[in-house]
């Protein structure tokens, strides 16, 4: 089952970010790998909140008692998706101040990157 994580947006797997040195890196791929490492072989449970326009369940998911949505944001691998929720704004602020993940350099917000890809 494909699930969209409630209240957050992460870089797409093909999305690149730029380090302060100017080096470009696959931040979307790194975000996906970080989530996979966090979950490992643990069971994931999800609390459905909504259904999106593509028919996917929108949920808050957890593993070993950790809110994975919030974990991704506080680690800097996703941003708060304010258009739909303000649940993870504080976690995003913490990641930005600590320069974690995508906040360690420059990046396009995931929704802006997707829009630019569609416009091509």
Residue 30 lies in a domain: yes
Residue 89 lies in a domain: yes
Q: Enumerate long-range contacts of 29-36, CB under 8 Å, 24 or more apart.
A: 30/77, 30/101, 31/72, 31/77, 31/78, 31/101, 31/102, 34/72, 34/75, 34/77, 34/101, 35/68, 35/72, 35/77
What CATH number corresponds to the domain at position 75? 2.40.50.90
Residue 117 lies in a domain: no
Domain count, the chain: 1
- 98 has pLDDT over 90: yes
Residue 118 lies in a domain: no
Domain membership of residue 75 as a residue range: 3-112
Residue 120 lies in a domain: no
- Which pLDDT tens digit goes with each residue over 107-119? 999 999 999 999 9
* pLDDT score recorded for residue 120: 85
What does pTM read for this prediction? 0.95
Q: pLDDT tier at 94 (50, 70, 90 boundaries)?
A: very high
Residue 95 lies in a domain: yes
């Amino acid at each position: 089952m494909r699930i969209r994580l409630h209240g957050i947006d992460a870089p797409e797997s093909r999305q690149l970010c730029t380090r302060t040195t100017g080096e470009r890196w696959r931040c979307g791929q790194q975000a996906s790998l970080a989530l996979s490492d966090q979950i490992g072989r643990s069971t994931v449970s999800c609390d459905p909140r909504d259904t999106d326009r593509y028919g996917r369940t929108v949920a808050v998911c957890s593993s070993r008692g950790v809110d994975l949505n919030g974990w991704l944001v506080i680690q800097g691998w996703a941003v708060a998706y304010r258009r739909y929720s303000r649940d993870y704004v504080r976690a995003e602020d913490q990641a930005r101040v600590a320069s974690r993940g995508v906040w360690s350099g420059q990046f396009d917000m995931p929704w802006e990157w997707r829009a630019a890809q569609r416009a091509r």
